[in-house]
Amino acid sequence: MSKEKPNSKEKNSTARKTGKTPDPKTFAGYPNVLSSSSSTSENAPRLRLAPLPIDTSAHKFDLKPSSETPPPQEPPAYEYLGELPDVYGTKKLFLTSRDPHYLFAYWDLAWEQFQEAENAAHDRKVFLQIYHAAGDRVQQIQIHNGTRQWVIHVNEPDSAFYSEIGYYRWDGGFEVVTRSGLATTPRDSLSWKTHADFVTIPFNFTFQQLWEMVRDLMLPGEDLAEALARLEALGHPFPFQTFVGRYLSDDAHEAMLDYMRNDMIRRIQVGSFEITEILKRQLQEHVTSGQWSVPPTSLSSPFGASFGVGSERNFFMHVNAELIIYGGTDPKAKVRIDGQEIALRPDGTFSYHFKFSDGRYHIPITAESPDKVETRSALLSFLRVTDTSSGVDATPQPPLPEPFGKSA
């Protein structure tokens, strides 16, 4: 007669009643729970061999990092066009005015192009030269490889200039590497244009709408603002309110200036262009009346360097320069300066004393041995450009010849 197998509840009940550790094979369905010892009581703690199951339903919406990292995407070709070069080597020279008294020059010469010019120069020097539009030179500045810009003080408002970069050849001529266009410095005085046009441009109309209003009435070559100003002055009807500017009479203009002198200077921040103009006007009135002896020099310095100083001053300054060339060779040799043979002293030395006026000088000097077999040569280059402030005179000089080789 077959026996029924006890179920799990019966097995557990049997173990509790007997107090004995059952055979693990008997609890094959519960491998994670064993009693601590064979002699433990029914309520003794039991060791758990596997962790409790975790309910993940509370975190089912949490985002988990992807196990696979997507490969980095290459940027499109137009996003990176490479590093911009320091220079392009176009050999272009640009000149522009910074203000009424200064010019700004910059050039695009590669290192190799600049070195080529240095190697071709007789003295390995490269120069930046500034000229008036008429062709007379104002300044000459030696520049070096790696320099790409220069600020030049010309102190000539409302004047046109151009610039050159080049070097002196062995024959004394100047080789031009590049030349700029004309640049004109602005005025540093009041503009002669006193006429002003006023126009009302409403913000609630587009430019297209305004153009459609006046396109049939525009004159050849007239732009939109000019057409609106002309039509508003003529009283043309517009679907918006217009304000026509009115010019003041001379009396009204003077009355307004008097008001500005007495009131606006106290209220407007010092340093604005309008206040500078008012102060300059006042200063000119004081100069005209004889109260001050020094007139204003420019808008950038309206009071000059001697503001408030009396008319009786004994301060003065004068300056000048001379050129002395000296050297030596065999007493029987022949020495020529700029092709002209000169006399030597008994010991073979020589010296010449010249005036040194403004200009550019290239003075070749050669020495020929007594037997006419050997020659030695040198090329001396000089430049004098004098720029003085007012009140500086030239120091008187004894009668001296002009140096040889003057080219400018």
Q: Kindly indicate the confidence band of residue 93, based on its pLDDT and cuts at 50, 70 and 90.
A: very high
For residues 175-191, average pLDDT: 91
DSSP character for 406? Answer: B
Please give the domain boundaries of the chain with CATH numbers for all domains: 1-46 (no CATH), 92-184 (2.60.40.10), 208-246 (no CATH), 250-289 (no CATH), 317-394 (2.60.40.10)
Give me the amino acid identity at 269. Answer: Q
Mean pLDDT of the chain: 76
**Higher-confidence position of 138 and 247:** 138
More confident residue, 361 or 220: 220
Mean pLDDT value of segment 340-347: 88
pLDDT of residue 184: 96
Q: Which of 284, 276, 275 is nearest to 300 (CA)?
A: 276
Q: Is there a contact between 335 and 341 (Cβ–Cβ < 8 Å)?
A: yes
Whose tokens are 């102190």? That residue is 155
Please check whether residue 166 is in contact with residue 118, taking contact to mean a CB–CB distance below 8 angstroms.
no
Cβ neighbours, 10 Å, residue 344: 19
What H or E segment, with its residue span, contains residue 225? helix 224-233
Name the pLDDT band for 67 (thresholds 50, 70, 90). Answer: low
The model's pLDDT over 106-123, given as tens digits with 9 standing for 90+, comes to 999 999 999 999 999 999
Which of 111-125, 301-315, 342-356 shows the highest mean pLDDT? Answer: 111-125
Strand residues in 65-170 grouped as ranges (E)? 92-99, 102-108, 126-132, 137-143, 149-153, 160-168
pLDDT value at 335 more than 70: yes
CB neighbours of residue 93 within 10 Å: 21
What is the pTM assigned to this prediction?
0.38
Phi and psi at residue 88, in whole multiples of 5°? -110, -15
pLDDT given for residue 299 in this prediction = 40
Of the listed ranges 160-174, 276-290, 378-392, the one predicted with least confidence: 276-290
Which span out of 26-40, 41-55, 120-134, 229-243 was modeled with the highest average pLDDT? 120-134
Q: Which residue has the higher pLDDT, 107 or 286?
A: 107
Q: Taking 90 as the threshold, does the pLDDT of residue 176 lie above it?
A: yes
User: What's the pLDDT band for 42 if we cut at 50, 70, 90?
Assistant: low
For residue 29, pLDDT over 60 is answered with no
HEC string of 301-337 equals: CCCCCCCCCCCCCCCCEEECCEEEEEEECCCCCEEEE
Q: Using the Cα atoms of residue 136, residue 142, residue 146 and residue 148 in order, give the sign of their dihedral.
A: negative
Q: What confidence tens digit (pLDDT) does each residue in 242-265 have?
A: 876 666 667 766 666 665 555 544
Does pLDDT of 127 surpass 90? yes
Beta bridge partners of 361: 382, 406
CA distances, 262 to each of 255, 257, 268 (Å): 11, 9, 12
58 pLDDT band, cuts 50/70/90, is low
Range in 6-20, 122-136, 156-170 with the lowest mean pLDDT: 6-20
Instruction: Tell me whether strands 160-168 and 183-184 are parallel, antiparallel or unpaired.
Output: antiparallel
Q: Tokens representing 187? A: 């005025």
User: Which pLDDT value is given to residue 131?
Assistant: 96
Mean pLDDT calculated for residue range 315-330: 88
Flag whether pLDDT at 21 surpasses 80. no
More confident residue, 401 or 133: 133
Q: Is 164 exposed, middle or buried (0-12, 13-18, 19+ CB in 10 A)?
A: buried
Res 298: pLDDT: 41
Whole-number percent of the chain with pLDDT over 90: 29
For the chain, the maximum distance between any two Cα atoms, rounded to a whole number of angstroms, is: 158
In the predicted structure, residue 139 carries a pLDDT above the cut 90? yes
Does the pLDDT value for residue 331 go beyond 50?
yes
pLDDT value for 107: 96
